[in-house]
Copies of this chain bind each other. A is one copy, B any other.
Amino acid sequence: MTLRTGKEYLASLSDNRVVFYAGQRVDSVTSHPELSLHANAIANSFGNGMGDDEALLKQRSTLLADGDRVHRWAVAPKSREDLLAFVEMEENLSGDEHGALTAGLSALQILAPRMDAKHGTNYVERITKYADWFARTDAQGAFAMTDAKGDRSKAPSGQVDPDLFLRVVERRKDGIVIRGAKTSVTAAALANELLVLPTHAMGEADRDWAVACAVPANAPGVVMISNYVGKPWGPEFRFDRPLNHSAFHHDATVFFDNVFVPHEKVFMDGEFEFTREFLGYFTSLHRTRILVMEPRDTKKLIGVAQLMARYNGLEKVGGIKDRIGEMIQTAVLLDTLRYAAFSRLQFIEGICVPDAAACNLAGLTVTSTRQGYLSFLCELAGGPVLTAPTGLDLANPETAALVHKYYVGSPGVGAEERLRLVKYIYDIAASDSAGWDRALAVSGAGSPGARRVAAARGFDLEACTASVLADLNTSAA
Contacts and interface: CB of A to CB of B under 8 A. Distances in A.
A425 to B, nearest CB: 9
A120 interface: no
A390 to B, nearest CB: 5
Given A443-B381, A443-B386, A472-B242, A303 B184 contact: no
A442 B385 CA distance: 11
A170 to B, nearest CB: 18
A439 B429 contact: yes
A227 to B, nearest CB: 4
Which has the most chain B C-beta neighbours within 10 Å: A150, A371, A376, A447? Answer: A150
A387 B227 contact: yes
A312 interface: yes
B387 A303 contact: no
B153 A442 contact: no
Given A371-B375, A375-B438, A389-B227, A411 B160 contact: yes
A186 to B, nearest CB: 9
A306 to B, nearest CB: 5
Interface string A414-443: 000000110010100111101110111111
B150 A313 contact: yes
Interface string A383-415: 111111111110110110011011111110000
Given A181-B406, A361-B332, A466 B303 contact: yes
A317 interface: yes
Nearest to A343: B343
A336 interface: yes
A337 B316 CA distance: 31
A159 to B, nearest CB: 9
Contact of A184 (B310, B375, B384, B443): B384
A449 interface: yes
B456 A329 contact: yes
A329 B364 contact: yes
Which has the most chain B C-beta neighbours within 10 Å: A181, A306, A375? Answer: A375
Contacts of A409: 150-151
Given A150-B409, A242-B474, 18 more contacts: A150-B313, A152-B410, A153-B313, A153-B314, A163-B405, A185-B387, A225-B402, A253-B406, A296-B467, A302-B464, A329-B364, A329-B456, A336-B340, A336-B344, A337-B340, A339-B344, A381-B439, A430-B436
Number of copies of this chain in the oligomer? 4
Contacts of A452: 325-326, 329
Interface residues of A, number: 153
Contacts of A420: 472, 475-476
A408 B162 CA distance: 12
Contact of A317 (B318, B355, B371): B318
B403 A225 contact: yes
A243 B475 contact: yes
Contacts of A381: 439, 443
Contact of A378 (B238, B438, B464, B467): B438
B303 A146 contact: no
B459 A300 contact: no
Contacts of A389: 20, 225, 227, 253
